[in-house]
């Protein structure tokens, strides 16, 4: 029973490029959450999605960031025109629809913007 | 909006000694309370959570936490620390309905001396 999977685990981009981070939730989980962890800080909530719906994007930067969770396939966090300040660890979590409070985290994608 | 404070950025204890990590939260009602552990380069693993019932919660790896409403605290304890407990520990508070109001503390880094 595989846990939450994220890929790539490490991603290096130059300023201005696009970053795509993928998250496959645990089997049977229909809710996905994205968090960002800056160095020496805790996790900051970004966005909460169900299949084909964005439920809560209150933590998403207004520009350059978008997320989707299509009917088929993984959830994608997309960062356009990356800047150095986007360098962080991005974690995905998933939960069953009946228990939003039980979030299982993936290993994270560490993004480095040069 | 809820918030979480972990007053100790870094704690060092000797192997076999007892451990207490502090967590204070701010929230209008009784929230969900969590402790997560993060090993270097890894995702977060849930140690324990509390929402209602017995205020002393048992978790995995021998950890426990006590909810004290009067002090708005949810401190994590372990009677005897093992070298493998060295990691970053995050307290989180959450409310889950339409939105995902999950807030994490900045973390406490635990070092274990031999």
Does B70 have pLDDT greater than 80?
yes
Nearest to A77 by CA among A17, A23, A1: A23
Interface residue ranges in chain B relative to chain A, Cβ cutoff 8 Å: 4, 32, 36, 41-46, 49, 51, 90, 92, 94, 96, 98-107
Q: What is the pLDDT of residue B1?
A: 67
Residues in chain B: 114
Tokens linked to B94: 């959450």
- What are the tens digits of pLDDT across the range A42-54? 889 999 999 899 9
* Inter-chain touch A56–B49, beta carbons under 8 Å: no
Does B97 have pLDDT greater than 90?
no
Q: pLDDT above 70 covers what percent of chain B? A: 97
Q: What would you measure as the largest C-alpha separation in chain A, in angstroms?
A: 41
- Is the distance from CB of A91 to CB of A43 less than 8 angstroms? yes
Q: B36: part of which helix (H) or strand (E)?
A: strand B32-38
More confident residue, B43 or A19: A19
Q: Give how far Cα A71 sits from Cα of A50, A74, A75, A76, B60, Å.
A: 9, 9, 9, 12, 34
- When CB atoms are compared, the residue of A40, A58, A102 closest to B99 is A58
């Amino acid at each position: 029973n595989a846990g939450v999977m994220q890929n790539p685990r490490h991603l290096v981009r130059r300023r201005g490029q696009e970053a795509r981070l993928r998250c496959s939730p645990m089997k049977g989980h229909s809710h996905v959450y994205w968090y960002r962890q800056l160095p020496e800080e805790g996790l900051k909530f970004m966005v909460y999605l169900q299949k084909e719906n964005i439920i809560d994007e209150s933590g998403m930067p207004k520009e350059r960031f978008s997320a989707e969770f299509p009917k088929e396939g993984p959830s994608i966090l997309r960062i356009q025109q990356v800047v150095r300040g986007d360098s962080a660890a991005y974690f995905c979590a998933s939960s069953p629809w009946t228990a939003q409070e039980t979030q299982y985290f993936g290993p994270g994608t560490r993004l480095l913007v040069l | 909006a809820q918030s979480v404070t972990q007053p100790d950025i870094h704690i060092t204890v000797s192997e076999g000694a007892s451990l207490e990590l502090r967590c204070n939260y701010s929230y209008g009602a009784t929230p969900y309370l969590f402790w997560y552990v993060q090993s270097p380069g890894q995702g977060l693993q849930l140690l324990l959570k509390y929402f209602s019932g017995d205020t002393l919660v048992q978790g995995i790896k021998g950890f426990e936490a006590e909810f004290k409403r009067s002090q708005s605290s949810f401190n994590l304890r372990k009677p005897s620390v093992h070298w493998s407990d060295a990691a970053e520990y995050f307290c989180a508070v959450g409310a889950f309905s339409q939105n995902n109001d999950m807030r994490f503390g900045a973390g406490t880094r635990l070092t274990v001396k031999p």
